[in-house]
Every structure is written in C-alpha cells, then in structure tokens.
C-alpha cells in the first residue's frame, strides 16, 4: 500500500492534510480516472442498459440519492440507502455492513447485485470491452477522485473566525461536547470507519436488518452499521442505512432521544437532553460541512476539465 498526499494547498482543504491510501497495484493516473468517470455513467453495465453507478450516486446530490432505498434496474428496490461517495478514498471499509475492505472490491458489487445492475463480471467485461481488473481499478480510481472540502468549517479551523456564525460556532461546541457526536464522527472525514448500533434497525421488538453481524457473525455486531461521513450532510438526505430519517432535524431528534433502545445499542448512544436552541445550533453547524465537491482530480491535484 502506498499513500497519496492530498495537500490542502493542492486540492480541496479538509482542514488538515490527509494521506489517501492507494494500492501499489492500482496507482492513480489521469487516464485511469477518466476511464472510471466514463464507466461510472455507463448504463451498459446494467442488464437492461437502464442503470449506471450515477443512477444512485448522483453528482448533483453530492454523489448520493434522494430515495430512502437504492432503486436499480426495472424498479427493483434494494435493502439499504445508497450513501454518498464523498471522500471515500480515505475509507477503510465499504458498504453499510463494511463487507468490502477495498474500493477495488466494492465497485464491482453493485454490477453483480440482482437488485442493482444484475450482470456477471464476465458479461460486464464483454459489454464494455474491458477486463474485470481494468473495470475495477478504473472505477476505484475515479471514486478516489471524488472529494469534498473547503467548507465553512474548514475555513474556520484554518483561522477564518468569520467563516462560522455565532450560532454555528455554538453548534460546533455542542457537536464536540454535549452532543457527543465525535464519539463516532471524528477527524477531517467525520467518520471513525467503525460500525455502531444506534437502534435504527430495531423496531417492534426486533432487528429488521442485522447489519454488520451478517458479515462478521459476532454478537456485538447485531444491528451495527458503519458510521457515514458528515461531509455534505446537508445535501444527502434521507439519512441512516434505511433512509428512514428524512431531515437533519429528524436525525438530531433521534440522537437526542438516545437512539432506540435494544440489547446491542452502542454504549455511547444515550439521551442528550438538548434544548430547542441547542438542536438548532447543531443543525446549523452540520450545514457548514458542505463545501466544494470535486471529481476527476489527478494525483498531483490538477483538476481535470
């Protein structure tokens, strides 16, 4: 594994310089990113040529979907929400249940999913005239190029004290303190890349989705889902693995109530007792995490046309 320096002065400031993990066997190149960009919108990768990666990960919505659950070809509805792809090059695990350890593995799964694109990899390769490795490496490289930064929050922590309003600054303090949000949403990418049970999947006395447990088999992973990034969160509703919370107001209220009690609820999830003004300030702060979204950035930070 090699590490690509994403310097704040070169690409989009995230508040701190970050090192993006890039596999040695798949170095990023301008050509590979451009091929991945084309494949990302190529509907030939679905059985009826109606659906592409961009169908669920819309660039206009910070590479997310407005639907609660992902909808693939022929209107087939999946089990979970399609999360944003913002800054996923920094990720350590992928999908809500963290079942993929690399982007190279992750990008091929929707193509093969019967509810999404419904092709075998051999069929996909034949359609676009590329072998599976080339498809995988190009799509992964493109996803690594999808970045968000230079948000008001970033400008604030880089010294521009006017970048956040007094209410937003109060929200930042709640985020870090009384709200306990940093228990899971940490660092410049605002995710710990771990899985947590907040109770979202617990309804009517049972789990409706076992989450990470279905992959790991560990009892403590029952109903646990990977922490999503909060970058661009104001633009990526609805929220949670099942899209069950429509607004940021709903999300804040859910956590203020301590999530939903169940046998495996994370110890960090507990009632917050926020006042109405504190909830408003926290929501105002969350909107400051939306900034500049860019895609097609080469390893040296040059923005492709």
Please write the tens of the pLDDT for every residue from 224-241. Answer: 999 999 999 999 999 999
* Closest by Cα among 180, 182, 202 to 190: 182
Query: For the domain with range 150-287, which CATH number is right: 1.10.760.10, 3.30.70.1520, 3.40.50.1970, 1.10.1200.10?
Result: 1.10.760.10
Tell me what pLDDT residue 303 has.
38
Measure the CA–CA gap between 214 and 170, rounded to whole angstroms. 39
Tell me what pLDDT residue 12 has.
47
CA dihedral 56, 57, 60, 62 (to 10 degrees): 140
Tell me what pLDDT residue 304 has.
36
* Domain ranges in the chain with CATH number 1.10.760.10: 2-148, 150-287
Average pLDDT over residues 59-78: 96
pTM of the model: 0.92
Tell me what pLDDT residue 20 has.
86
Measure the CA–CA gap between 250 and 255, rounded to whole angstroms. 9
- pLDDT tens string 164-186: 999 999 999 999 999 999 999 99
Confidence band (pLDDT; 50, 70, 90) for 5?
A: very low
- pLDDT tens string 28-37: 999 999 999 9
* Closest by Cα among 191, 179, 184 to 289: 191
CB 144 within 8 A of CB 65: no
Token pair recorded at residue 82? 């399609």
CATH class given for the domain over 2-148:
mainly alpha
């Amino acid at each position: 594994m090699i590490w690509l320096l994403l310097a704040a002065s070169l690409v989009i400031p995230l508040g701190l310089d970050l090192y993006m993990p890039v596999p040695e066997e798949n170095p990023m190149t301008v050509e590979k990113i451009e091929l991945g960009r084309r494949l990302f919108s190529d509907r030939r990768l679905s059985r009826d040529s109606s659906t592409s990666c961009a169908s669920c990960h819309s660039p206009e919505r910070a590479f997310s979907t407005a639907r609660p659950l992902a909808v693939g070809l022929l209107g087939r509805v999946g089990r979970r929400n399609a999360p944003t792809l913002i800054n996923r090059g920094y990720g350590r695990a992928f999908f809500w249940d963290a079942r993929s350890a690399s982007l190279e593995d992750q990008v091929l799964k929707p193509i093969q999913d019967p509810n999404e694109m419904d092709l075998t990899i051999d069929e996909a390769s034949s359609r676009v005239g590329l072998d599976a490795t080339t498809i995988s490496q190009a799509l992964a490289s493109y996803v690594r190029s999808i970045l968000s930064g230079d948000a008001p929050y970033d400008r604030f922590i880089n010294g521009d004290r006017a970048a956040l309003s007094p209410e937003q600054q109060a929200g930042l303090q709640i985020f870090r303190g009384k709200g306990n949000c940093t228990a899971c949403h940490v660092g410049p990418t605002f995710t710990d890349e771990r899985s947590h049970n907040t109770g979202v999947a617990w309804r009517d006395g049972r789990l409706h989705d076992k989450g990470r447990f279905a992959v790991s088999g560990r009892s403590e992973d029952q109903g646990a889902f990977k922490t999503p990034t909060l970058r661009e969160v104001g633009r990526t509703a609805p929220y949670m693995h099942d899209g069950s919370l429509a607004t940021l107001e709903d999300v804040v209220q859910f956590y203020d109530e301590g999530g939903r009690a169940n046998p495996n609820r994370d110890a960090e999830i507990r009632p917050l007792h926020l006042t109405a003004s504190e909830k408003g300030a926290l929501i105002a702060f969350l909107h400051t995490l939306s900034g500049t979204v860019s895609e097609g950035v080469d390893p040296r930070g040059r923005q492709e046309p």
